Amino acid sequence: MATHSETDVLVIGAGAGGAAMSKRLSDGGVKVTCLEQGDWLHPMNHPHMYDGWELERLRTWSWHPNVRMFPEDYPTTGNAAPMMMNGVGGSTLHYAGAWPRFKPVDFRKGTEHGLEGTIDWPISYEDLEPFYAINDAEIGVARRVGDPGNPPRPEGWGPASRGGKVGRKMGRGFDELGWHWWPADNAILTREKNNRMACNDCGFCLGGCPRHAIASTDVSYWPKALANGVDLRVNARVETITTANGRATGAVYIDRTTGARSEVRAKIVVLAANSIGTPRLLLLSAQKGYPDGLANSNGLVGTHLMFHSWSFEDYWFDEPLEGFKGPEPAVLYSQEFYDTDPSRGFVNGFSLQVGTALGAANSALGTNTGKIAPWGAGHREFFNKHFAHHALVYVQGEDLPVRTNRVTIDPAVVDSSGLPVPHVHYDLHENDRRLITWGQERAREAAEAAGPVIDMATTGIGGVGGPPPGWHIMGTCRMGNTPEDSVTNKWNQTWDVPNLFITDASSLTTGAAVNPTSTLQAVSVRAAEYIKRRFADITSQTKTPSNADAPDF
Ligand SMILES: Cc1cc2nc3c(=O)[nH]c(=O)nc-3n(C[C@H](O)[C@H](O)[C@H](O)COP(=O)(O)OP(=O)(O)OC[C@H]3O[C@@H](n4cnc5c(N)ncnc54)[C@H](O)[C@@H]3O)c2cc1C
């Protein structure tokens, strides 16, 4: 190898999980190097600032790397469309910042129903609660406390995002039916923090926020991690995690600008390359002693992929709601149907989240569901009735972690560095199909109660006949209870390689019925705290302890 360097902890991936890990470790003085295959992307260069922003988000800025095809991206093959971003900030570079937490019941789904190999998490909500709070404070959550449907949460950095007319409208619908609802937590500043300005309600948050109000990790975590001295190397695509004597020794990466290979040697390696990139790298790291890939002696790496079962419901009302203003993630949510009720014919439940709209082009082009304004005669009438009269309700369901929904390697296709790409297979389970169908009916009921509805449309169940849209990619290297049922223990430590940790969305045991990032970051902060406090033990450990005898902090 031409060049090599040494560090205490090597973090792979600078996205949601990797940024939280790097910052927390470096707060404690740990020497950290982070390798990220993408580059910095200034918020002013996001499509938010383009003239054709409503169209560019579908083309050059698509959430799906196969459409976007930036050099730092890697394509995927298979029947699913995992959506992600590769750069400093990872997929938070184009996320919406919806910030709900998992509920206590979400950590016990193995005991509750155990369907399709669902297992309990090895930790509880109470174990994670302090780390949710630490992470919320870092990102500057917007929140109204007091939700009766969830455990108490600390005050937010600022008040909840403005619900606007859309929020008031749907809130009245839920009230009419006597259903739970509450203003949503969002990772969007409603009060200035450090060098980030508060949200000004300009909308299109998924196109990047020029005010740095939305907590993508390039503006929330990374400035502090860099100030702590973290060595962040961009355009550094990891090819293999190296090992010797049953322990990880570091990684070999390709500099995407020169093609040169270098090695970073580390005492501990933390993988945070997301639920597609992490299993891909473990499988590509097959080597002597690990013929089926690293940390994969039980064959579980890549399995139990989850996306959330999903439906977008567009409703148009007879009054203007100005949905083009305000934050793009949910302004409020109802968790009336969150818990399992077997009489409905399925297990698990869903959230109904109420969101805003985009601009005029989006309205004419079919909003979220493909309800396109007619061309020629009738266009003006349709447009006048529909534009700004719209509310989005999305049904976000907990999908089962099914073993055959999985990431494997497709040796026939390579990325721009010549590395084989992941193949992603996902079939929606019958349970999840039933759940979403029932949820769509409840969403309609709420809209009609808010009424009068003049028009409505739906995406149907998941994608058009295929898997759900893959914007919440979870599972694939789940944490669990024994070396037989999972890839890592309760501290995110792989069972096979004791100094190799996984702290991104791939480690989530189940996916709950809410957006995942606040939870995966809380898990990452918790693992960082463990690594910091038990550093000496981990660096000499030869076998990962069982959860029963895993030492506490
Ligand atoms: C359109 C959209 C909207 C979303 N909205 C929300 C929302 O409102 N709320 C919410 O909670 N979640 C949302 N999400 C999901 C959220 O973005 C993800 O849950 C989160 O970013 C996942 O974090 P992660 O750490 O697993 O991976 P990522 O954030 O994707 O980070 C992984 C990083 O690893 C890097 N990497 C991968 N392979 C390599 C390699 N070989 N070498 C070096 N680097 C590598 C990647 O380049 C990337 O930067 C949304 C996602 C999308 C697509």
Distance between CA atoms of residues 335 and 181, nearest Å: 7
pLDDT in single tens digits along all 553 residues of the chain: 668 999 999 999 999 999 999 999 999 999 999 999 999 998 778 888 888 888 888 888 889 999 999 999 999 999 999 999 999 999 999 999 999 999 999 999 999 999 998 999 999 999 999 999 999 999 999 999 999 999 999 999 999 999 999 999 999 999 999 999 999 999 999 999 999 999 999 988 988 899 999 999 999 999 999 999 999 999 999 999 999 999 999 999 999 999 999 999 999 999 999 999 999 999 999 999 999 999 999 999 999 999 999 999 999 999 999 998 889 889 999 999 999 999 999 999 999 999 988 889 989 998 988 899 999 999 999 999 999 999 999 999 999 999 999 999 999 999 999 999 999 999 999 999 999 999 999 999 999 999 999 999 998 776 545 677 888 999 999 999 999 999 999 999 999 999 999 999 999 999 999 999 999 999 999 999 999 999 999 999 999 999 998 888 8
CB-CB contact of 350 with 311 (8 Å): no
| pLDDT given at position 174 | 98
**Pairing, β 332-334 against β 350-355:** antiparallel
Nearest to 211 by CA among 43, 23, 408: 43
Question: In angstroms, rounded to a whole number, what is the distance separating the alpha carbons of residues 97 and 118?
Answer: 28
Residue 419 CA: which ligand 1 atom is closest? Answer: 41
Rounded CA-CA distance 271/57 in Å is 29
The residue type found at 431 is N
User: What pLDDT sits at residue 464?
Assistant: 43
Give the pLDDT score at 466: 60
Q: What pLDDT sits at residue 468?
A: 79
Number of helical H runs and strand E runs in the chain:
13, 16
pTM for the whole structure: 0.98
Residue 35's CB is within 10 A of a number of other CB atoms, namely 25
471 lines ligand 1 (CB under 6 A): yes
What residue type is assigned to position 446 of the chain?
A
Q: What is the pLDDT of residues 111-170, one digit of tens each?
A: 999 999 899 999 999 999 999 999 999 999 999 999 999 999 999 999 999 999 999 999
The verdict on the CB of residue 447 being under 6 Å from ligand 1 is no
d(CA 343, CA 39): 50
Q: Is 284 in the pocket of ligand 1 (CB under 6 A)?
A: no
* 156 DSSP assignment: P
* Cβ atoms 208, 47 nearer than 8 A: yes
First to last CA, the chain: 37
Domains and CATH numbers, the chain: 3-540 (3.50.50.60)
Angstrom distance (rounded) from CA 130 to CA 223: 23
Atom of ligand 1 nearest to the CA of 13: 34
Residue 505 CB–ligand 1 contact under 6 Å? yes
Q: Which atom of ligand 1 is nearest to the CA of 473?
A: 19
Distance (Å, rounded) from C-alpha 169 to C-alpha 396?
20
CA distances for 252 relative to 30, 310, 347, 391, angstroms: 21, 38, 44, 48
Distance 475 CA to ligand 1 centre (A): 13
Partner residues linked to 457 by β-bridges: 314
Ligand 1 contact via 348 beta carbon (within 6 Å): no
Q: Check pocket membership of 90 for ligand 1, CB cut-off 6 A.
A: yes
The rounded percent of the chain whose pLDDT value lies above 70 is: 99
Q: Could you tell me how far CA 110 lies from the centroid of its own chain?
A: 22
Spatial distance between the Cα atoms of 349 and 530, rounded to a whole number of angstroms: 32
Instruction: Give the 3-state DSSP-derived string for 355-421, with helices as H, strands as E and coil as C.
Output: ECCCCHHHHHCCCCCCCCCCCCCCHHHHHHHHCCCEEEEEEEECCCCCCCCEEEEEEEEECCCCCEE
Atom of ligand 1 at shortest distance to CA of 503? 25
Helices (H), 57-163: 65-68, 109-112, 125-139
83 C-alpha to center of ligand 1: Å? 8
Q: What is the distance in A from the centroid of ligand 1 to the CA of 155? A: 27
- Cα separation, 352 vs 443, whole angstroms: 7
pLDDT digits (tens, 9 = 90+) for 418-474: 999 999 999 999 999 999 999 999 999 999 999 999 999 998 776 545 677 888 999
Burial class (CB in 10 A: 0-12, 13-18, 19+), 375: exposed
Note the pLDDT of residue 42: 80
The residue count for the chain: 553
